[in-house]
């Protein structure tokens, strides 16, 4: 059972979020961050590759030794919907119900569906509850020649009640000035409060943060969200949790979290990332998951 009045710091639930959300009590989350599949029309997949010593290998290394590149893992989730908005709508209606009076929803999406989703969120929340359209800009990957390469995601921000939402700009890590030579040395050292355009790298390919899960979002982006829109000790919800970035950040910042994902591979990654200290792993009916079920590929 998920007990939001207990001392626990986190829950990870394996199941379709539409089965899990109705069991959560109204108004219990100050912050919801979600990053659903973007409806790209194809499965999202990441392969993990390692280089190993092998006499049959086709690559030469130090001392003339031969090496082979082998696949050590593959993680994927489906990302094609006949009726994308029909899939999202009931889940977003629950999101609104679950927010506290001062709560905020961050909805992470890309250019394919952002405009349709904004119209639907206006309808569910009311246009007066729209707070921001945050642009996360990055610079990575291929550059097609026939159009402007798409290098940003959109994060639509809606509040439960206009002017009642919690927002602490001073708690957010400051950003460097783009032209530090144009401000005083003191200002340049302090940095500036971020605007609604966030320049941030993707998860570094060889960094400690990297889990190998497809479309993992950087902790730096989610950290701003959690710092600005939740208080220490608050409950934070992510019901398209993937590798558990929201849980990892929430825990670092002293918030409590509920993460939901229906992919056992996501659960295995979260289990490795978050461990069992203060985190409970449940099925959609609220029963504890144990051993190989909680971590299928460990
Ligand atoms: C873009 S990924 C989330 C990535 C995550 N933000 C991270 O940083 O790792 C979307 C996730 O939604 C999950 N998902 C898709 N449909 C779902 C559903 N109906 N219920 C629960 N999870 C779902 C997928 O399994 C996938 O892990």
List pLDDT tens digits, range 25-64: 999 999 999 999 999 888 788 876 566 677 777 767 666 7
* Per-residue pLDDT at 62: 64
Helices (H), the chain: 17-20, 84-98, 114-125, 185-190, 219-229, 245-252, 264-274, 291-294
Q: Using the Cα atoms of residue 165, residue 166, residue 170 and residue 171 in order, give the sign of their dihedral.
A: negative
**Order of strands across the sheet that contains 44-53:** 44-53, 66-77, 59-60
Q: Domain map of the chain by residue range? A: 10-43+78-294, 44-75
Find the residues whose C-beta lies inside 6 A of ligand 1. Answer: 16-17, 35-37, 77, 213, 215-217, 240, 242-243, 245, 260-263, 266
* Per-residue pLDDT at 259: 98
* Per-residue pLDDT at 292: 45
Tally helices (H) and strands (E) across the chain: 8, 12
Name the residue of 33, 241, 273 to mutate for ligand 1: max ligand atoms within 8 A of Cβ.
241
Tokens of 189: 């050292």
Quote the ligand 1 centre to 215 CA distance (angstroms).
Answer: 9
* Per-residue pLDDT at 298: 38
pLDDT higher than threshold 70 for residue 72: no
Distance CA 58, CA 48 (A): 18
Confidence of residue 148 (pLDDT cuts 50, 70, 90): very high
pLDDT higher than threshold 60 for residue 218: yes
Helix axes 245-252, 219-229, angle to 10 degrees: 50
pLDDT higher than threshold 70 for residue 86: yes
Quote the ligand 1 centre to 253 CA distance (angstroms).
Answer: 22
Distance CA 24, CA 38 (A): 25
* Per-residue pLDDT at 54: 73
pLDDT higher than threshold 90 for residue 169: yes
Query: Is 10-43+78-294 in CATH node 3.40.50.150?
Result: yes
If you average pLDDT over every residue of the chain, what do you get?
Answer: 91
What average pLDDT does range 147-168 have in this prediction? 97
pLDDT: which is higher, 108 or 44: 108
* Per-residue pLDDT at 43: 79
* Per-residue pLDDT at 126: 98
DSSP state of 174: P
* Phi, psi of 85, rounded to the nearest 5 degrees: -70, -35
* Per-residue pLDDT at 291: 56
* Per-residue pLDDT at 52: 66
What average pLDDT does range 234-252 have in this prediction? 98
Tokens of 45: 């997949």
* Per-residue pLDDT at 56: 73
Q: Using CB atoms within 10 A of its CB, is residue 59 exposed (0-12), middle (13-18) or buried (19+)? A: exposed
CA atoms within 13 A on the CB side of 271: 20
């Amino acid at each position: 059972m998920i007990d939001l009045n207990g001392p626990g710091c986190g829950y990870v639930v394996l199941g379709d979020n539409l089965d899990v959300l109705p069991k959560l009590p109204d108004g219990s989350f100050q912050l919801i961050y979600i990053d659903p599949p973007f409806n790209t029309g194809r499965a999202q997949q990441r392969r993990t590759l390692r280089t190993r010593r092998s006499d049959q290998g086709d690559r030469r290394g130090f001392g003339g030794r031969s090496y082979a590149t082998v696949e050590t893992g593959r993680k994927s989730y489906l990302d094609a919907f006949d009726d994308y908005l029909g899939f999202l709508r009931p889940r977003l209606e629950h999101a609104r119900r679950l927010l506290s009076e001062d709560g905020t929803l961050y909805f992470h999406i890309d250019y394919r569906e952002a405009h349709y989703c904004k119209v639907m969120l206006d309808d569910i929340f009311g246009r007066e509850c729209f707070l921001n359209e945050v642009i996360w800009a990055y610079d990575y990957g291929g550059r097609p020649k026939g159009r402007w390469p798409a290098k940003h995601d959109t994060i639509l921000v809606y509040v439960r009640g206009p002017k009642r939402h919690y927002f602490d700009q001073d708690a957010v890590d400051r950003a460097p000035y783009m032209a530090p030579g144009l401000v005083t040395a003191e200002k340049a050292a302090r940095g500036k409060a971020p605007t609604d355009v966030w320049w941030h790298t993707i998860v570094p390919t060889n960094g400690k943060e990297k889990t190998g899960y497809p479309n993992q979002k950087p902790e730096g982006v989610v950290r701003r969200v959690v710092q600005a829109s939740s208080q220490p000790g608050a409950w934070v919800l992510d019901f398209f949790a993937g590798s558990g970035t929201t849980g990892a950040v929430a825990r670092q910042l002293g918030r409590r979290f509920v993460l939901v994902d229906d992919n056992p591979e996501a659960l295995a990654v979260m289990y490795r990332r978050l461990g069992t200290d203060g985190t409970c792993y449940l099925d959609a009916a609220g029963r504890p998951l144990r051993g190989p079920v909680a971590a299928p590929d460990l």
